[in-house]
Structure 1
Amino acid sequence: MTLTDRLFRPAPLSILCVVLFAAGIAVAQLERPDDRGVPPIDGSGSYEVNGVHVDVAARNADQARSGGWREAQRKGWKMLWARVNGKPVENAPGLPDSTLDSISGGIVVEKEQIGPRRYIATLGVLFDRARAGELLGVKGAMRRSAPMLVIPVEWSGGTPISFERRTEWQKAWARFRAGNSPIDYVRVSGTGPDPVLLNAAQTRRPGRGWWRMLLDQYGAADIVVPEVTLFRQWPGGPVIGRFVARRGPDGAVVDSFTLTADNGDALPAMLDRGIDRIDRAYTRALQEGAFRPDPSLVIETPVAEVPIDDVLAEIASAATANITVQAETPDAGALRGTEGALRGMTGVTSVQTGSLALGGVSIFRVSFSGPPAAFREALVARGWQVEDVGGGGLRIRRGGAPTAP
């Protein structure tokens, strides 16, 4: 064998396999950050009004479009007022454009046609919940559920996928505007440890111990698992989606239905329709009382605690601490109830409402005779779920936290 034959002799198969395997690992490591994680685009909880039709003529295209957007704000406000108050649109009060600009959060273009002097479009209008809630009144407030951790699962090609890689189903839930729903969805971005903790296999595990840890990690009280199974008829052809709305660690079926998309380009719109229908199913279950917290997700053996009243009596002479407390106040009754509960706690000397937001999150300033840690333990002992919000502040809510005996 000559020297040339030795230099150009084919490499053994084992060496080629090792090289290809290493190259695959390198490619996977490069693609992994882009293949996972879709952060929710709407976490503001805005009111959304869809299907606002405008037809405006002006001197030029820019003026026509600006006039169309202002007309959409006027019509959208009246539609929102009529929806939350249960009255005809004709009875809605008119607001000046300056007020509408202050409460409007944005314009969503659903379909538009722009001409040299005319603008025809179907638009959606977003209204800030905190600012618009004061003008809508307490009737516009919604009764919300306990925090529900969302794990969307997509079945495609016989394989279930949740956050292991980015899917169209995860994208659809990320762009869903959860602020309009009475269900308090806890949506995750799918980055960091999410693909490991909230994988598709976890949704089929009935063990409560691991679920309790996950719910405590993500600040939720229960689980909802919306599933979709996609059947593609042929490449570029119709796509059939079978949707199943599940709830709880046992995967109880709340509703199921089937939708069809004409082709792959229409798949996102079909998934959006499926989410709207699933949300309506969860809302009906909430109204029927089926969304009560699962007792099996509460820690069965609470940690031994020292009576909080005895602790407060010993430190009654301590310096007064000023603590900022955030709480959801969907209506005036919830506002009065939260304020009364804080005033009735042992050691609380005064409660002042620093920021009022009916239908949103109100802020209270609490003066407490003792250290902030004792105040936190007092809240937990009375059944509140307490979260740290930074700067020494706390956020409290009912549900999802065990009640001390």
Structure 2
Amino acid sequence: MIATMMLGAGAVMAQIEGNERGVAPIDNSTNFEVGGVTVDVAARDSDSARTAGWRLAQRKGWRMLWARANGQPAEAAPGLPDSTLDSIVAGIVVEDEQIGPTRYIARLGVLFDRARAGQLLGGANNVARSAPMLVIPVMWSGATPQSFESRTEWQKAWARFRSGGSPIDYVRPHGSGVDPLILNVAQTRRPGRGWWRMLLDQYGAADIVVPVVHLRREWPGGPVTARFTALHGPDARPIASFSLRAASSEAMPRMLDEGVRRIDEAYSQALREGRLEPDPSLVIEEPVDEAAIQESMAEAPVIEAVGGLSTITVAVATPDAAALTQAEQALRGVPGVASANTTSMALGGISLIRVSFTADAATLRSLLTGRGIDVRGVSTESGPARPAASPPSVAPPPPQGQPPR
């Protein structure tokens, strides 16, 4: 009995169907996958033929996986008994099959458990992996480009792709929720880094890949020609480009699956050649100078706490959000400061930051002034830190001879 699982077309479609826009990836596991394994087996009945075909696919798939991991021909792969193959195979994917009374012809994919198969592959499979890559697939059909704005066949192809065996760490959004609003075609053409940095931080990625396909149909239901382009980074640097053709619209999903596989190979080759490095402008954090921190700490005066926490409001010029963040970080680094939080934000003007500290106000004012920070005594409080209340609005007195309104 083969301890495997068959993923038929119905199961695949059931998993990738999300809402009217979203397409959830069917497999985010770390399995190794070997596709395109062809078998042609005859036996006494259809069940025996299919069982024999799956066993043959496991043997051929193992040799193909070993050859790919070690860079050697498949004939040099060590043979494994069927019992061992049953323990390391996680599933059988049916790409295409024909079942007769005594014959089984199929093209199959074999999923190998990474943890178990990795021990048998040896150390050669420890390949370098890329930084997390946010995937925004773009499909042109006629003169209309689409990404996550609506569900497309290109989005479904990327959802079907099993990325566990790829050295590229893909971050594949589902396309639901806010994805159609912020991961649209316009975003792929935006050169500004600020919005890109926000998106990468939100999706837990460090870089961007934009696989693009241009579809051209000769007539409805007829042949489809596709031009694939692999782009990388916020500036859409081209990595590879190629064309494929499907004989009919029914064969287009298989063509798109092959396009995803070849684009993944192009990205993997670029990674090995060092052409897939993240853009330095996408890095949010500035490098920390440890020596400067140690020096400033050694020279900082020692301040004794006086009567618990006190607060003071600091006015800081903030031309943009980055300046406000830097000002908060600078205030938190002052000796004796317990917290620094913005109470009034005015980008392009003067923002107010409320500082809680364990020192007397005069000492803190002198430290802040020495660092070039403008201190305005809007409020100075003693005791536990609490938000400063806004002063009540007082109406001016009415002029002489006029009754109050």
Q: Classify the TM-score, shorter chain.
A: 0.5 to 0.7
Alignment partner of 1:250: what SS?
A: coil
Deviates more, 1:259-268 or 1:196-205: 259-268
Matches within 5 A, 1:363-382: none
State the distance in 1 between where 2:253 and 2:294 align: 55
Unaligned runs of 5+ in 2: 1-16, 296-405
Offset of residue 146 of structure 1: 0.8
Cross-structure match for 1:96: 81
Alignment partner of 1:116: what SS?
A: coil
Pick closer, same or farther for the CA change 1:230–1:120 going to 2, 3 Å. closer
2:286 is the counterpart of 1:285: no
Tell me the amino acid that sits aligned with residue 83 of structure 1: R
Q: Deviations over 1:74-124 (max 9, x none)?
A: 222122222222333333222232221121011122333322223233322
State the distance in 1 between where 2:37 and 2:18 align: 38
Could you say what the CA RMSD is over the residues aligned between the two structures, in angstroms?
Answer: 2.6
Cross-structure match for 1:146: 131
State the distance in 2 between where 1:291 and 1:38 align: 27
Offset of residue 272 of structure 1: 1.7
Cross-structure match for 1:82: 67
Matches within 5 A, 1:2-401: 34-299=19-284
Q: TM-score, normalised by structure 2?
A: 0.64
Q: Deviations over 1:205-259 (max 9, x none)?
A: 1111111111011111110111112222222222222222111111122222332
Tell me the amino acid that sits aligned with residue 132 of structure 1: A
State the distance in 1 between where 2:185 and 2:132 align: 20
Offset of residue 297 of structure 1: 0.7
Offset of residue 302 of structure 1: 7.1
Offset of residue 144 of structure 1: 1.1
Contact kept, 8 Å, 2:41 with 2:52, in 1: the verdict is yes
Pick closer, same or farther for the CA change 1:306–1:220 going to 2, 3 Å. farther
Offset of residue 277 of structure 1: 2.3
Offset of residue 63 of structure 1: 1.8
Q: Deviations over 1:296-321 (max 9, x none)?
A: 111265799999999xxxxxxxxxxx
State the distance in 2 between where 1:133 and 1:300 align: 35
Pick closer, same or farther for the CA change 1:99–1:307 going to 2, 3 Å. farther
Pick closer, same or farther for the CA change 1:117–1:242 going to 2, 3 Å. closer
Tell me the amino acid that sits aligned with residue 107 of structure 2: T
Larger Rg: 2
State the distance in 2 between where 1:81 and 1:91 align: 9
Contact kept, 8 Å, 2:20 with 2:150, in 1: the verdict is yes
Alignment partner of 2:212: what SS?
A: strand
Pick closer, same or farther for the CA change 1:147–1:266 going to 2, 3 Å. same
Contact kept, 8 Å, 2:19 with 2:176, in 1: the verdict is no
Unaligned runs of 5+ in 1: 1-31, 311-405
State the distance in 2 between where 1:189 and 1:160 align: 18
Tell me the amino acid that sits aligned with residue 60 of structure 1: D
Q: TM-score, normalised by structure 1?
A: 0.64
State the distance in 2 between where 1:261 and 1:51 align: 17
Cross-structure match for 1:16: none
Tell me the amino acid that sits aligned with residue 256 of structure 1: S
Offset of residue 33 of structure 1: 7.0
State the distance in 2 between where 1:51 and 1:211 align: 37
Tell me the amino acid that sits aligned with residue 34 of structure 1: N
Higher helix share: 1
Tell me the amino acid that sits aligned with residue 147 of structure 2: S
Structure scoring higher RCO (CA < 8 A, sep ≥ 6) equals: 1
State the distance in 2 between where 1:306 and 1:239 align: 61
Pick closer, same or farther for the CA change 1:306–1:199 going to 2, 3 Å. farther
State the distance in 2 between where 1:42 and 1:33 align: 14
Pick closer, same or farther for the CA change 1:43–1:306 going to 2, 3 Å. farther
Alignment partner of 1:53: what SS?
A: strand
Pick closer, same or farther for the CA change 1:96–1:258 going to 2, 3 Å. closer
Tell me the amino acid that sits aligned with residue 262 of structure 2: R
Alignment partner of 2:250: what SS?
A: helix
State the distance in 2 between where 1:202 and 1:291 align: 20
Alignment partner of 1:178: what SS?
A: coil
